[in-house]
């Protein structure tokens, strides 16, 4: 037994049983701990809230007792599967691992945690990370879909439920939310974010942080969030994943950084650096981002983890001269923990010896990680308290929440002749398409811990409504098959069904069979879009067309003259310009998750009313990209949609657009005051009435435009929204609060943030083309 064993155990005992009392802490350490040398750190001490002073003291004393190998272990995360590994076990026992990635087996998590806490010298708990992006075992709609709810309660609830499952198995850290603004739908990871707008993106970022973490770090049944990818990852050249991003400073400050800042202000506990070069400086070695902005300006108190092997990739980028230089550049820039690769572990000792890294810098990184572990309660409760983790997965409560989320995220794009909702009991219905009965493709990308067998497909959801003898005959076939040309990096873990039709004759027969079923059915639902592997990481596209022969199937279906409903499964806008003119009903359901099929059936048959809105501008063709509503005024402001001579330059569907099965009248905005002081708020009232025969939701959106100032400002910017539910005939005055702080911007002329006085335009309505107008003036301070 180590002579310091009692002191070591008391370090842990203090955190577990002393109720975090500072007096008890100091007395215990004074009695049994070795003499504590004063830190030689020349860096400022980590800034923590006053109620975390005990955590600071605890960690500083623990840090003083750590060997260099133990410190390097804390700033290293290892990736592994669920099977034991002798080398990993040895490092864990030696206290040379701070975190594990991709361990999801509760027994293995418990085994490793017991090994770290019971057998390592200082008994420091591990933190287990996993990509809980939109669910663990129960899968919720993909994040772009949750943004389409225009209701922050939806992602907050979904991520809270996801955290409940994750914490039950012992996972205590997720690499979400992704808050990268994306204005190029060719980029595959647009599915993980909130679309094109920084205001909507900020509200969704805050909501997801609250959902994952709860009221405070360490809240029961919650986990540590990690906002990513800092920063500019969504602006990759050509929408090509990992490619460089070139962003002007005013765009970076006004568009790409605000959702990250919102997450930091919401208390996110960790942040991930991005892969790519930002203006020729890799984000993982970017001191401007990780230190000047994050630490100095925003006062971020958590820790920064690199993305997968992005520390070592600093050499690949031609930024660092080799592994030692890469390690030094990353940790000096502000990356506290290295994900997966072991450049820190192997090469920081050399960098420390040659003076390119200071001991104080390493200690600061370790301190931030240990403080976060302390705040999470891992020193007090390192193990999951759930005795039967499986009993907490895919529960009826989880399914109910997932179904409700999928209902609220759907967007009705077209409903000519009110074809939707469908009759409650049609004589026959054909459900056609390669995605209609595909469980993985109902879930979407980043569903790696799911069990596809748990999933209700759209075909199954429709069939669930009509039992044998109900009088409704449900028939189905694929019609066509689709497959990604290049394999996905995730195929070994999570794959879509592979084509089984091998010959042209087989494919022709299947196509004709689908058309025959459509001809015989009273109504047909075509479920088209992209396989889940066609969206997500390393899933960028050069085109936005429907993959494979889906367009031909759709056109042949419409040519039958029978009623057709198009249901889209996807996570990016697709080229549906032809469909928008020829298909009577189009319902965007994204990748709706485990209960997606039941939710879509609820929507198709009117048990739920779609009320979602687009979180992005939907292009007519790939040639319009990038396209977004918040552009600047130009030389010919009166003809904004005629910039192409061969096509409209307007989006097919505007940002904020979405229909309902009912009708609403929306009144003009009424401002509480005509003038307002910079830094204060005003209210805007809008009368809304449901004039239809069904209950439904409407989103009231508020946009502003600064008429003049130190820089040209966008023609309009979203600055407020609220989603309301109204019964038939119900009238409500919707009150929106406009905070003038949200009207401030970073000026390329002054190079700082300010709220500039002067006249503003204001519009309210139901999409970014809102026409109901008012005006107000901001007065100087």
- Report the catalytic residues: 307
The DSSP call for residue 392 is G
Contact (CB, 8 A) for 452 and 439: yes
Contact (CB, 8 A) for 544 and 619: yes
Tokens representing 40 are 């030689």
Q: How many CB atoms lie within 10 A of CB 208?
A: 32
Q: What is the DSSP string of 440-470?
A: HHHH-SS-TT--GGG---HHHHHHHHS-TTS
Q: 198-213 and 153-169 helices cross at what angle (nearest 10)?
A: 30
State how far the Cα of 350 lies from the Cα of 361, in Å rounded to an integer: 14
Tokens representing 712 are 């040209």
Question: Which phi and psi angles does 628 have, rounded to 5°?
Answer: -155, 155
Nearby residues of 454 by Cβ (< 8 Å), 6 or more positions away:
137, 138, 394, 594
- Which residue is listed with tokens 């020829």? 582
Burial 110-128 (b: 16+ CB within 10 A, else e): bbbbebbbeebbbbbbbbb
Contact (CB, 8 A) for 441 and 496: yes
- Which residue is listed with tokens 């219905």? 429
State how far the Cα of 550 lies from the Cα of 199, in Å rounded to an integer: 35
State how far the Cα of 82 lies from the Cα of 492, in Å rounded to an integer: 15
H helices present in 544-605, as ranges: 550-559, 577-582, 596-604
The residue count for the chain:
781
Q: How many CB atoms lie within 10 A of CB 321?
A: 11
Contact (CB, 8 A) for 735 and 685: yes
The 3-state DSSP class for residue 527 equals strand
Burial 736-752 (b: 16+ CB within 10 A, else e): bebebebbbbbbeeeee
Q: What kind and span of H or E run contains 129?
A: strand 127-130
State how far the Cα of 434 lies from the Cα of 507, in Å rounded to an integer: 12
* Secondary structure of 299-357 as H, E, C letters: CCCCEEECCCCCCCHHHHCCCCCCHHHHHHHHHHHCCCEEECCCHHHHHHHHHHHHCCC
H helices present in 413-534, as ranges: 439-443, 458-465, 504-520
Contact (CB, 8 A) for 303 and 76: no
Q: What kind and span of H or E run contains 775?
A: strand 772-779
Q: What is the DSSP string of 726-774?
A: E-TT-EEEEEEEEEGGGG-EE-TTTSSEE---EEEEEEEESSTT--EEE
The DSSP call for residue 38 is P
For residue 414, the cross-strand partners are: 586
Question: Which phi and psi angles does 730 have, rounded to 5°?
Answer: -75, 140
- Which residue is listed with tokens 């005006």? 775
Tokens representing 715 are 């023609």
Contact (CB, 8 A) for 583 and 564: yes
Provide Rg for the chain, Cα atoms: 27
Count Cα neighbours of 343 within 13 Å in the Cβ-side half-sphere. Answer: 27
Strands 226-230 and 173-174, by their bridges, are: unpaired
């Amino acid at each position: 037994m180590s002579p310091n064993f009692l002191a070591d155990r008391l370090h842990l005992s203090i955190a577990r049983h002393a109720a975090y009392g500072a007096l008890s802490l100091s007395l215990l350490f004074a009695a049994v701990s070795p003499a504590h040398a004063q830190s030689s750190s020349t860096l400022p001490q980590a800034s923590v809230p006053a109620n975390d002073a005990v955590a600071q003291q605890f960690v500083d004393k623990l840090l003083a007792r750590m060997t260099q190998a133990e410190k390097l272990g804390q700033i290293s995360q290892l990736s592994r599967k669920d099977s034991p590994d002798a080398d990993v076990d040895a490092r864990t026992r030696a206290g040379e691992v701070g975190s594990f990635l991709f361990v999801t087996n509760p027994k293995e998590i418990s085994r490793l945690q017991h090994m770290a806490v019971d057998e390592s010298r200082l008994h420091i708990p591990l933190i287990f990370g996993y990509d809980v992006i939109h669910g663990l075992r129960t899968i919720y709609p993909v994040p772009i879909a949750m943004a389409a709810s225009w209701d922050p309660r939806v992602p907050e609830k979904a991520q809270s439920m996801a955290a409940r499952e994750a914490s039950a198995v012992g996972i205590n850290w997720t690499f979400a939310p992704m808050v990268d603004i994306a204005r190029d739908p060719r980029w595959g990871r647009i599915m993980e974010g909130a679309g094109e707008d920084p205001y909507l993106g900020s509200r969704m970022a805050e909501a997801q942080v609250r959902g994952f973490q709860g009221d405070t770090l360490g809240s029961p049944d919650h986990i540590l969030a990690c906002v990513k990818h800092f920063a500019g990852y969504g602006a990759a050249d050509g929408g090509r994943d990992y490619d460089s991003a070139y962003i002007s400073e005013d765009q970076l400050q006004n568009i790409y950084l605000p959702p990250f800042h919102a997450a930091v202000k919401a208390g996110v506990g960790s942040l991930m650096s991005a892969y790519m070069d930002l203006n020729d400086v890799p984000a993982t070695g970017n001191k401007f981002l990780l230190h000047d902005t994050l630490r100095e300006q925003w006062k971020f108190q958590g820790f920064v983890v690199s993305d997968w092997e992005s520390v070592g990739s600093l050499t690949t980028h031609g930024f660092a001269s080799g592994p030692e230089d890469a390690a030094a550049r990353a940790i000096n820039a502000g990356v506290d923990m290295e994900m997966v690769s072991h450049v820190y572990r192997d090469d920081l000792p050399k960098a420390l010896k040659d003076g390119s890294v200071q001991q104080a810098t390493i200690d600061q990184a370790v301190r931030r990680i240990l403080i976060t572990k302390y705040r999470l309660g891992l020193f007090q409760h390192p193990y999951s308290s759930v005795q039967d983790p499986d009993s907490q997965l895919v529960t009826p409560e989880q399914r109910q929440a997932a179904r409700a989320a999928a209902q609220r995220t759907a967007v009705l794009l077209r409903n000519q002749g009110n074809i939707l909702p469908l009759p409650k009991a049609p004589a026959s219905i054909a459900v056609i398409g390669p995605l209609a009965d595909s469980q993985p493709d109902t879930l979407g990308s980043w569903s790696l811990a799911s069990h596809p067998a748990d999933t209700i497909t759209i075909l199954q959801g429709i069939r669930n409504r009509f039992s044998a003898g109900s009088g409704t005959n449900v028939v189905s076939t694929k019609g066509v098959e689709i497959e990604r040309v290049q394999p996905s990096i995730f195929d070994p873990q999570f794959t879509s069904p592979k084509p089984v039709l091998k010959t042209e004759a087989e494919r022709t027969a299947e196509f004709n069979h689908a058309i025959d079923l459509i001809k015989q059915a009273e109504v047909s639902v075509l479920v088209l879009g992209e396989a889940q592997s066609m969206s997500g990481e390393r899933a960028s596209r050069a085109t936005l067309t429907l993959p494979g022969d889906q367009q031909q199937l759709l056109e042949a279906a419409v040519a039958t003259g029978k009623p057709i409903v198009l249901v889209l499964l996807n996570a990016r806008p697709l080229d549906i310009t032809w469909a928008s003119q020829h298909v009577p009903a189009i319902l965007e359901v994204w990748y709706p998750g485990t209960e997606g099929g039941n939710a879509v059936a609820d929507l198709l048959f009117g048990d739920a009313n779609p009320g979602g809105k687009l979180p992005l501008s939907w292009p007519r063709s790939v040639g319009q990209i990038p396209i977004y509503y918040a552009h600047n005024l130009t030389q010919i402001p009166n003809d904004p949609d005629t910039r192409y001579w061969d096509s409209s330059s307007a989006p097919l569907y505007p940002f904020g657009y979405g229909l309902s099965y009912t009708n609403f009248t929306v009144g003009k905005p009424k401002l509480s005051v005509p003038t307002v002081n910079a830094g204060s708020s005003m209210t805007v009232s809008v009368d809304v009435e449901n004039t239809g025969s069904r209950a439904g939701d409407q989103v009231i959106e508020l946009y502003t435009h600064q008429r003049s100032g130190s820089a040209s400002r966008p023609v309009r910017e979203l600055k407020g929204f609220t989603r309301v539910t109204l019964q038939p005939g119900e009238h409500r005055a919707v009150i929106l609060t406009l905070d003038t702080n949200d009207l401030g911007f970073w000026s390329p002329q002054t190079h700082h943030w300010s709220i500039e006085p002067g006249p503003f335009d204001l519009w309210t309505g139901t999409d970014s083309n809102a026409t109901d107008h008012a005006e107000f003036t901001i007065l100087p301070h």
